[in-house]
Amino acid sequence: MPEFLENLIFTFQRLDWLGVVDMLLVTLIFFGLLYLVRDTQAMLLLRGIILLIILTGLLTTLLNLPAFSWLVQTTLPALLLAIPVIFAPEIRRALERIGRAGTVLPITKRNGQNKTQSTIQAIVSAAARLSARQHGALIVFERLDSLGDYIKTGVSLNARVTPELLLQVFYPNTPLHDGAVIIRGAELAAAASVMPLSASGILTHSPDRQMGLRHRAALGISEATDAIAVVVSEESGAISIAHAGRMIRRLDAERLENILNALCNPERERQGRNYFKRFFPYLFDRKDE
């Protein structure tokens, strides 16, 4: 232990500004990794790996254990190769976010600003009326990432988005009320579509227990793509919105419209404080989750 402290002091004495930058970069990388795996099952695996590394490091450093040290040295390369396999979903999600951050094509140029605004108003009106009637709904709004594979899992409609159509689709016990509605531009592309379920622990840790498969599906599609998902709870009628793996709950019609406008209209984002939400989703206020 005294030798370790002497080496530590010697290292800090030789530290210069380039070494500080080097340490900051390493710290940022570890912070990014921890941020990506938060509220997921991978967090438990990461804790176990870190604890195992600390224990083995202490045993091999403080005690003279030749056989144990040999075992650690021979198995460590295999463990390093296993890490990409264990954390494959998180690595894939991180690469998708990096690739998505480099996309600068505004959604309003592809769909048309007027059509986008009318679609948002239709979604807000339908969500408010569905909430008042406590009819469950899941409305997914396509942005830059294509949802073609998910559209194929449902029933193709290709109809103009109106509040009346959304109310009819999500009327209880109708053939299309289960699953999600996918909106592409100003069209309702498909209904009864199957969404991926989220594996994160956000819903598990929530004090609210009225969140079921619809909310898990909304979070799942927001984690896999840059889509926006609007959920209406069948039990409570509460309106929620999911984006970039985060969910904001207990929204009224006005707040829902403001959030949709901020996410779908880059010009408004540049004018207001919500501009950075498009590129840094973690800045969403978590108080409303």
Residue type, 158: N
Q: Which two tokens stand for residue 88?
A: 């494959």
pTM: 0.62
Q: Could you tell me the fold of the domain covering 107-288?
A: YojJ-like (1 (3.40.1700)
Residue among 95, 98, 119 at smallest CA distance from 107: 119
Q: Is 254 within 8 Å of 239 (Cβ atoms)?
A: no
In our burial notation (b when 16+ CB lie closer than 10 A, e otherwise), range 135-149 reads bbbbbbbbbeeebee
Quick one: how far is CA 210 from the chain centroid? Answer: 20
> Which H/E stretch holds residue 183?
strand 180-184
Q: Is 108 within 8 Å of 260 (Cβ atoms)?
A: no
Q: Domain boundaries in the chain?
A: 2-101, 107-288
| 289 residues of the chain, pLDDT tens digit each | 566 667 667 666 777 778 778 888 888 887 877 776 665 556 666 777 778 778 877 777 777 778 877 777 787 777 777 777 766 766 766 666 666 555 444 444 444 566 788 899 999 999 999 999 999 999 999 988 888 889 999 999 999 999 999 999 999 989 898 899 999 988 999 999 999 888 666 665 555 545 678 999 998 898 888 899 999 998 888 999 998 888 888 899 999 999 998 887 655 444 433 433 444 444 334 434 3
Rounded distance between C-alpha atoms, residue 6 and residue 112, angstroms: 65
